[in-house]
Each structure stands twice: as C-alpha cells, then as structure tokens.
Structure 1
Amino acid sequence: MKLIYALILAGLVQTANAQNKDSLMVEAIVKEATTNSQLQPLAHELLDGIGPRLVGSPQMKQAHDWAIEKYKSWGIEAKNEAWGEWRGWERGITHIDMVAPRVKSLEGMQLAWSGSTNGKTVTAEVIILPEVSDSNAFRSWLPAVKGKFVMISMLQPTGRPDYNWNEYAAKASFDQMKKDRTAATDAWRKRIEKTGLTNRTLPEALEKAGAAGIVMSYWSQGFGVNKIFGAQAKKIPTVDLSLEDYGLVYRLAEGGKKPKLAIRADSKELGTVPTFNTIASIKGIEKPDEYVILSAHFDSWDGGTGATDNGTGTLCMMEAMRILKLLYPNPKRTILVGHWGSEEQGLNGSRAFVADHPEIVKNIQVVFNQDNGTGRVTNLAGQGFLNSYDYLGRWLAKAPAFIRDTVKTSFPGSPGTGGSDFASFVAAGAPAFSLSSLSWSYGNYTWHTNRDTYDKIVFDDLRSNAILAAILAYMASEDPATTSREKAILPANSKGEPGKWPEPKSPTRKGGLN
C-alpha cells in the first residue's frame, strides 16, 4: 500500500512540475514578446527595405536570402529549398500622364508581368471597348485598336464604398445606386461576352491586333484602393488606374474628347528563374523525426509591399521561432517553419513541400498557418479532424486569458480545400489549422491591393499572434501524445453524395512561362 501511495504521490508531483513548467514557459514567452519584440524592426527590413515579393522577382529571392541570414543570426538552421521555376520579371518606374485634352499626372501602376515600353514613353489616344452585337462584329472592329490604348473595365457609378452610402445616403438614393450599379455590372459583363472572349483572353486579342496598351481599373470598393494582380497581355503595357482617374479618362473618351495618355513602364524580363521555399528548424531532442510546423507564405502581389498578405503571417512565425530558440532551444519534437513561395498562384510552394517530403508529412504533429491580415487571431476550426478538439483545446487553454478568450473554436469543422497553405497539408491527411484573424477591413483595403503597406499593421495584434503561435508550438512539441488524424464523416454535398476529403494537388513547377 505504501508503494502505491508513493507512486501516486510521485505522479502528482510530476504532473504539478509539468504544469508549473508550462506556466513558467508561457510567462517567459509573453515577457520576451512584450518587452523585446522584434516585430517592428523585422517589418521595416522586410516591407520597407525589400518590399513586395512577387514570385520570380529579384525581391522575392532577396527576401529568401534575408530570412536565411536572420534565422542564422538567431542560431537557427535555415535553408532555401528550390521546388520549381517561374517567369522572371522586375518592376521598374511607371509614369502615366494624361496629355490631352489637358495635362494631368494619373495615379496608377503597371500590372505584374506586363510588357515594357522599353525605356520609351508611348503616347496614344484612348478608346473604350465598344458594345458589339456579336463576335463577328467585334472582329470587324478589332483593327481600330491599332496604336491606341484600350480601356477594358466598366465605369463605376460611385467612388464611395457602400458603408459610406449606408451612413449618409437616403435609403431610396442608396437603393437606386445599388440598382444602377448592378445593371451597369451586368451590361459590362455582357459587353465582354459578346466579343466571344473572356476577361483573360481579351487582352491577348487586343495585343495581337496592335493595341499600344491596355488600361483597366480593378476597384476594391474602398476609398483610394485598387486590387493589383498580373497582366494577361505579355508584350504591351497593361496599367491599372485609380477609380478616380479611370473614371475621368473614361468619361472624356465617352464624351468624344479623345483623351491621350503618355505611358512609360520600365519593367524587365529576366528569363526563367528558380523558385524557393525558406525552411528553418529547431531540432527536437526526444522525437526529432516528428514535426511541429509553423507556416506562412512568403510571396505577395506587388501593388503595395505585401504587408498584411502575408508579411504579417511571415513576421508572426519568424518572431515565434526567435522566441522559441531563445527560451526553448531543445524541444522534444522538431519545430520547423515553412515560408512558402508562390502561394498566390495556387499554394505552389507548400504543395511542392508536401509532395517532396512524405517522410515529414507522415510524422507531422501539427501545422499552424497564419495568412489573413494583421488582426489578432479570433478563430480556430478543426478542419474535419475528429479529435482536434482534444489537443487543440488543451494547448489553447495554456495561453493567457487576454489571448485565449478572443479565440472562438469550432470542431470538428470541415477540411479546407484552398485559400491558404494549411490546405496543402490537410489534403495529405496531416492535422493542419488556420490561425484566422480579425478583419481590420482586410478584404477591401489590404488584400491584394495598392494599400497593403507597413502602416496598415496593427502591431499589438501581431504581437498577440506571435505569442499564441509560440505557445501552441511549445505545447504541441511537449505533448506526450501524438495527435490523432482520424477524420470526421463529412456531410453530403448538394447532390446528396457522401462528402469527400480533399485530395492533394500537384504544384505548378513551371509558372508564367507560356
């Protein structure tokens, strides 16, 4: 009996010591992140110094190399791992001026992978894509584009976002505006359809017909904000104008004033270049072949500097790794961070990692991914893993209340099929989860826009996220149990067919080359 009591007492002491150890570690993580945060200097170096990280650009490679040096300065092993090739392209200076019927410098920029003006300024009249009856009529009109800039976006009826209308407008006025906008949107869609082409194929047709360039505007439904993606035409410049300046030029052209633009777009083609993931790790001492993975894509579009998509996710995971190396240099399991390339073109970097490293994927304890803005984490879903409530709940419970209490959980949830890099791991059956953030007007104002810059970061929220990521990684590493991969039975689809788990997809390993 004494032996039984002794064993029970020893177990209680061990449990108490483990709990005290966890509490002390959490306290130390919070203190280091709060009193010695490196988030702002890291953000300055990455976002202001290097800038946007378009796949295939020199800035993307510069960012990979910067991350390697930063990890090495913290004593963390890191490497750049090539996984494919991409069309190399570098943005240069863009000047867009209206020179007739009056002079005005316009706000706008060249789209990624757009053709260059090769050091010259191209001056030409602007015309609007016309209404045609069918594709034959469009082909008859097409020679008229030769030597001209062609506008291919609809004229927005208002430059005020809906929330502004909702606050100030009479209800009847707001309702009429929405009705007019819906009608205009539908009419423009039909205008494109009657050409026999699509938004993707139209620019190429205009290019082949001898257009001097393409002018568009992809308004993001907020004051002063446009979404900036890639060009479909490859040899002539494609520029995106602000809603305000696009509307000005459109109305002048529509009114018969024959506006002229002078455009200089000094981009460079760099041939085919390698693409990378940056991988860093703190090797485990008890279970080195089991992995806790922190995940964030490194690439961005280049309208702004990729601050909240996904500079903030990148910085969160870098800061978490810095803190863990300082306070927890000998984890039980290996803690690995993946900074993925070409997420924006289809999760390519993470899909390549999953395909290239089955030995890691089969031994993943957990993946935590962050990729939706600067806000503090407010949602954690189970991604269809039946027992995720158990381990995620236990780990989250160790976070301090000021972080834990803001996080809403939902279990078991449904497996993510895209959207960000956690989905690459979920498809392979590995327990991977999104640390989903509070919006801060992400969808309209910073997601893929010209306003996604350093000043949009909310560092208090970002610091909380780094603390949470570090705590979750620590708890996952220390957990004596291996996480369950048992999958929930998924609900039937709209056709009544049994729900199916997503399957792994192959990455695009040669991109932008066709």
Structure 2
Amino acid sequence: MKRIALIVCIVMSLPFGLVHAQTTDEMVDAIVKEATENSQLEYLAHQLTDVIGPRLVGTPQMQHAHEWAVEQFEEWRISAENQQFGQWQGWERGITHVDLVSPRVVSLEGMQLAWSPATKKGGVEGKLDIIPDVENKAAFEEWLKTIKGKFILVSMMQPTGRPDYNWEEYATEESFQKMKEERDAMQDAWRERFTKIGYNSREVLSVLEEAGAAGIIQSRWSSGFGVNKIFSAGTEKVPVIDLALEDYGMLYRMVEYGDDPVIKVNAQSKKLGKVPTFNTIATIPGSEKPDEYIILSAHYDSWDGGTGATDNATGSITMMEAARILKEVYPNPKRTIIVGLWGSEEQGLNGSTAFVEDNPEIVDNMQALFNQDNGTGRVVRISGQGFLHAYEFLGRWLEAVPRDITRHIETTFPGTPGGGGSDYASFVSAGAPGFSLSSLSWSYWNYTWHTNRDTYDKIVFDDVRNNAILTAVLTYMASEDPETFPRDKAVLPISRRTGEQMTWPTPRTANRDGGN
C-alpha cells in the first residue's frame, strides 16, 4: 500500500503538461495503431464508389448512400440519422450509347449530362452540324431553320488531344509555342462566334432545342488524356451528350470536310419528380462538455461522370474512418463529436448552409470543424481562416500529430476566411472556426475534379490513411483542450484584386428547392 501511495504522490507532483503529454502520446499511438492495423478505408471506398456509385443530388444513388452511411455508423455503435433540409428535382441515369453509323460504323465514347432528357426508346438517328460562324444574330436565326432533326456540335474542336505537359516533354520549343498560339487564336475565334450569334454557351442550348435539334453534342475537355468534365444538361426536351475529345474531333472534321456523318444516340433516363434531400449526421456525445462541438465535415454528393471517388468520397471516408477510430479508442470524448456528410454541396454548399441555418446552438458552440474536400492527396495546407488565435490552438493540436504527417503540412496564420469553395466556408461565414484540410493535388483539377475518370482506382490510400489519422488526432486534441476556441477575428489585409480591405464573408442562403 505504501508503494502505491508513493506512486500516486509522484504522479500528482508532476506538472500537468507532462502527465497530459504522456496520455496524449498513448492516445495518438492508439489512433495510429487502429488506423493502420484495422483500416476500413478500402472497404468504405469500394462500397461508396463501386457499389453505390456516383451521388448526384436527387438521384436514387444519393439516397442509397445516405441510408448506407447510417447503417455503417450504427454498425460502429455511433448514432446517426438522415436530416432532410429540402428537396431537389429527382433524376435517374440510364444507358448512353452513341454510334457513328455513316460513313463508317463505330461506337463512340460519350455520356449524357446530368438531368438530361432521354431520347425515345431505341434511340434517334440524325446528321450533324456545327454552331456556325455567321456575321450576326439575324444570320444565325436563318441557320436555325436548317437544323431540325440534326445533332448540333457546340464545343470548339481541340487542336490537340495531348496535354501541355506531354508537349513540354517531347516537342521542340518552337513547335510547342506554335501550338499554343494556334489554340489561343482558335479560342478567341470561338468566343467571337458566340458573341456574333448573340447567345452564350448556356443560352444557346434552349435556342437549339426550340429550333428542333435532335440533340446537342459537346466535348468539355479537361486538359488531360481521356478526361472530360461532366456537368448538367440545361435542356428540357432533347438530350445533351458529352463526347470524348477524340470522337468529338473526328465528327467535327467530318462535318467540316463534307462527309455527311450520321450518328445514332440512345440516351435513357428517368425524371422522378421532387425528392427529399438530406445531410447524414452522426454523433458521439460528449461526456464533460456535451454542448460544445467538434464537426468532421465532408460533402457527400458528387457529379456523376465518374463515381465521385476523389470528389468527395475520399473526404467522406476520411471523416467516417476518423469517427470509427475515435469510437474505438476514445469512446467518451469531453466534447460532442459530430460527423456531417453534407448533401448538395456541388450546387452551392446547400447542405452545410442549411445545417448552419437550422442549428445555431451547435454553430455558436463549435470548438472546431475540420473539412476535407479536394482530392485523394495527403493534407499539405491548413489556414487559420482569419481567426486571430488560430496559431495558438491549431499549433498545439498539430503538435500531437505524428511528425511523418505534419512534415508535409504548411500552415498560414491567421490566414484569410474562405467565402466559398467547400463546406467549411458555410461555418466560417457564420463566424465559427471551420478549417480546410487541403490536399496535395495528384493532378486533381485536370484528371478527377468533376470528370469521367473520378473513380476508385485514383484513390491513394496511404495518403487518405494519413488524413484520417490527422483528423482523428486533431479531433482528440480539440476535444481535450481545456480552453474554448476564441472567435476573435484578425484585421484582414488589402485585397490584391480590388485594392480594398477585405471583409469577412457573409452567410449564404441554402437552396432548399432545387433543380426546377
């Protein structure tokens, strides 16, 4: 008994920081062990991208994803629910099949855009034409009389299907410069073409539709081998199809050379009327300060050209995995931990904005929010988002993270507040401490951001695992911190763009009835 008493006395006499550091080291070791030895990331990514697929707001796949997430959290003994914040125009993608049928037969690589109307069953055949280079709007109106039953090409033909980095590696300096000058001239001429007809690239779609076009063909190249951006259709009656650069260029040249190409398009989809849209919210209750909150944040929806792997399944599974790890090794946090998987981010941060609007008591008592949303890479940048004391708090929380993770991270304090871009901005604009865990690129903007190639095979799981560990440790440290994060705002700098002093972003309003 005397020996036990002596040990207690020694421990009690140690400075609090030393005891806490030892406890923190043990917890961080436990987090790392759970994350590396029992990782669920590959399984979560497979279920979310391969099995459920893309998560376009208003689709059955998005609803399936919400239901699956709740079931998964419950399996981990974490309470979760889907909270409806609005409704959206429902739509379900079917097949897209595009064939060149004359002057030769070949299947083409293409897909209908989100919310595209369907063709009749069995598809539609038609000749092709190109948005004309005419003198004025009157001449364009005359041309419109000739397009009934035709598919209209509305994108500029790219002069090369090789990305610039490929030219830089292999071309002569003179050849590369010549190609860029020719491309710039083509882009200027294409913009002038639309100026002369009196419509921009979105407005012209409904004009073509009303004039009787059978459909609209575009190619929104993403400046990389085999990648196109896939967004929304913008028509009510006829399909809008995105074709791969290679096939689009071939059709364009056939029209220009007078080869009279004919294609057949079979694009099937269903309009489902208005359907509810949700955020998935999971909660680990706090034991000592249950009315203070740490939020693990990621948008759950995606565009549907690929399967939304790096935008933003990776962010979503990072937050799910961090919550799972914490539930295993830190089941009774001091502060309440919330996981927010937001809906309809891609249409304007609607899910997170609605949560801010509907839950002022949570927003007002947030200790911190950690958001991840720009690809599969390891986190390399964290900004203080304009909060005066961000260095003090984030600095000591980051100090506990393993060095092999933090050595990649550059911090900016106090930084400037983000007014958009991802869901942390919904909270920052309300004055709450939300932080973006910004990732290494891995060619995100060209190859996976909103493209047809954003699929499971692009995930780099070593980096995602690092991000889950980082998030779990930051959450643990924020939960244990005896102090509450102060909301004092730094004096913002002069904007280089406007020359005026920057101001704090104002909260936006959630779109709760979208897709009309």
The TM-score, its normalising length taken from structure 2, stands at 0.97
Does residue 265 in structure 1 map to residue 267 in structure 2? yes
Aligned counterparts, 1:444-483, within 5 A: 444-483=446-485
SS of 1:311's equivalent in the other structure is: helix
Work out the CA distance in 2 between the residues paired with 1:418 and 1:328. 33
Post-superposition shift, 1:258?
Answer: 1.1
**1:70-469 matches, cutoff 5 A:** 70-469=72-471
Matched to 1:209, the amino acid is A
User: Following TM superposition, by how much is the alpha carbon of 1:14 offset from its aligned partner in structure 2, in angstroms?
Assistant: 3.5
CA distance in 2, matches of 1:301, 1:484: 37
SS in 2 for 1:21: helix
**CA distance in structure 1 between the partners assigned to 2:303 and 2:345 by the alignment:** 10
Separation in structure 2 between the aligned mates of residue 495 and residue 155 of structure 1, nearest angstrom: 35
Taking the aligned partners of 2:381 and 2:305, their CA distance within structure 1 comes to 28
1:504 is aligned, of 486, 507, 512, to 507
How far apart in 1 are the matches of 2:316 and 2:86? Answer: 21
Q: Deviations over 1:187-245 (max 9, x none)?
A: 11111121111111110111111110000000000001111001111210100000000
Look up the match of 1:3: none
How far apart in 1 are the matches of 2:14 and 2:120? 74
Structure 1 position 490, deviation (Å)? 0.9
Q: Which blocks of at least 5 consecutive residues in structure 1 are unaligned?
A: 1-5
Partner SS state of residue 145, structure 1: coil
Which amino acid in 2 is paired with 1:363?
A: N
Separation in structure 1 between the aligned mates of residue 11 and residue 121 of structure 2, nearest angstrom: 80
Deviations 1:249-293 (A, max 9, x none): 000011111111100011100000010000001000111110000
Rate the CA distance shift 1:102–1:9 in 2: closer, same or farther, 3 A.
Answer: closer
TM-fit CA distance, 1:495: 4.6
Distance (whole Å) between structure 2 residues aligned to residue 193 and residue 101 of structure 1: 33
Structure 2 counterpart of 1:29:
31
- CA gap of 1:91–1:489, structure 2 versus 1, over 3 A, is same
Secondary structure of 2:314's counterpart equals helix
1:45-84 deviation digits (Å, cap 9, x = unpaired): 1110000000000000000000000000000000000011
2: distance between equivalents of 1:248 and 1:344?
A: 32
**CA drift at 1:7:** 11
Check 1:294–1:247 CA distance in 2 against 1; reply closer, same or farther (3 A cut). Answer: same
Identity %: 62
Task: Tell me how far apart the structure 1 counterparts of residues 325 and 370 of structure 2 sit (CA, whole Å).
Answer: 16
Q: How far 1:133 sits from its partner (Å)?
A: 1.1
Q: How far 1:17 moved relative to its partner?
A: 2.1
Secondary structure of 1:339's counterpart equals strand
- Report the residue type matching 2:57 in the other structure: V
Structure 1: distance between partners of 2:104 and 2:194: 30
**What is the CA deviation profile of residues 395-432 of structure 1, one whole-angstrom value per residue up to 9, with x for unaligned ones?**
00101111111111111111111110000000000011
Cα distance in structure 1, aligned partners of 2:74 and 2:366: 24
CA distance in 2: counterparts of 1:32 and 1:369, whole angstroms: 21
Name the CA distance, whole Å, in 1 between partners of 2:337 and 2:362.
12
Cα 1:175–1:90 shift into 2, 3 Å: same
Alpha-carbon distance, 1:135 to partner: 1.5
CA distance in 2, matches of 1:346, 1:11: 54
The one-letter amino acid of 1:57's match is: T
Secondary structure of 1:67's counterpart equals helix
Query: Which letter maps to 2:350?
Result: N
CA offsets 1:448-497 (integer angstroms, 9 cap, x no match): 00000000000000100000000001100000000011111112335543
Per the alignment, in what secondary structure is the counterpart of residue 271 of structure 1?
A: strand
CA positional deviation for 1:9: 8.0
Matched position secondary structure for 2:97: strand
State the AA in 2 paired with 1:82.
Q
Q: Where does the alignment leave 5 or more consecutive residues of structure 2 unmatched?
A: 1-7
Q: Could you list the per-position Cα deviations for residues 112-148 of structure 1 after superposition, in whole angstroms to 9, with x for gaps in the alignment?
A: 0011013231000011110111112211211212110
Counterpart AA for 1:136: A
Shift of 1:12: 3.0
Instruction: State the 1:20 CA deviation.
Output: 1.0
Q: In structure 2, what is the Cα distance between the partners aligned to 1:436 and 1:138? A: 46
3-state DSSP class of the match of 1:466?
helix
Separation (CA, whole Å) in 1 of partners of 2:197 and 2:147: 14
The aligned amino acid for 1:143 is: K
Q: 2: CA distance between counterparts of 1:498 and 1:376?
A: 33
1:421-450: CA deviation from partner (whole Å, max 9, x where unpaired): 000000000011100000100010000000
The Cα RMSD (Å) is 1.3
